[in-house]
Amino acid sequence: MKMRASWVLNKHKIICDQVDVLPPNQDESLVRTAWAAICGSDVHVVHSDVPLPPRLANPGTPGHEGIGYVEESKDPGYKKGDLVLTIPGYSARTGTFCDYQTLMTRYMIKVPPTDIPLEQLLMAQQFGTTIYSLRQVPVDVVGKTVMVMGQGSGGLFFAWSLKRAGAAKVIASDKMAARLAVSRHFGVDVPVKAGEEAYQAVMDHTGGEGVDYLVEAVGNQEALAQSIGLIREGGHGLYFGLPDTKALVPFNFHDFQRRRLTINATTHALRDRSMSSFRRALDLIVTEQIDVSPMISHVFNLDHIEQAMDHATTYRDNARKVCLKF
């Protein structure tokens, strides 16, 4: 049986092609994809100057955010028709940008009965990565002023979680007015344009001292270089955004040391084999404790993966979260 699947031919070129469906092996399931979403890391894989990883030889990559229905499973814990969130790791034989995913069942989470639209449930993957990141080095933000650099879906989830955790003031920056326009829905108190305006806003709202806690969710050199100067003495920084280059990034070690900053980086949420952060994210969406609908801006068919990736890369037409409907 044939299926449609994305292929990254080379840097800056992704296409949709016809390939064979891969039958599941032991401990694997075959899942019929219903929806998938483009992550910021997918954009970096296709368009940054970081070399392509070997796993891109697999169909459906670099997609790793998916939701769909079990067609066949070698795991007795799953049956045909089960709705599952799919979060394929590097060892999965397919990504999510294909009609049928073949992956180990450890990369699947059953979705409980709910009336929440599938495309909103799908957001639990990205949400889960931010929950995982915040859990790695817990910081008390109650009554504190915090900042999130970047208001893509990851940045929005960070803002929501920090506000819910008790932050008194959440400042968020982004270059896109359309993203800042929805940020208040996710708990942002001070949305501001990235760059010099963001620096001035931080100084104005902190008496010139800087924020207590900062999350960097962009990954470009400009944001990385600016971030250290936004954190107050004794403050904390969490670096989540994937860098768009392997080149050295300027780093003001003088300010870092003199301010006694604590900095942590985070990635690879699937290191938690229990998938507890993703399960928590799904529960928050299912129980309607968070409304993720404002995130989703564009929906494409897989046949138009190149156009979808272009929107996610260039933010064309004020794109926020770009999804694929199957």
Amino acid at 309: M
Q: What is the pLDDT along the chain (326 residues), one digit of tens a residue?
A: 999 999 998 888 999 999 999 999 999 999 999 999 999 999 988 887 776 666 677 999 999 999 999 999 999 999 999 999 999 988 899 999 999 999 999 999 999 999 999 999 999 999 999 999 999 999 999 999 999 999 999 999 999 999 999 999 999 999 999 999 999 999 999 999 999 999 999 999 999 999 999 999 999 899 999 999 999 999 999 999 988 888 888 888 999 999 999 999 999 999 999 999 999 999 999 999 999 999 999 999 999 999 999 999 999 999 999 999 99
What secondary structure, in 3-state letters, does 44-72 show? Answer: HHHHCCCCCCHHHHCCCCCCCCEEEEEEE
The pair phi, psi for residue 107, each rounded to 5°, is -95, 15
pTM of the model as a whole: 0.96
Amino acid at 161: S
Burial 208-219 (b: 16+ CB within 10 A, else e): eebbbbbbbbbb
Domains and CATH numbers, the chain: 2-123+292-325 (3.90.180.10), 127-265 (3.40.50.720)
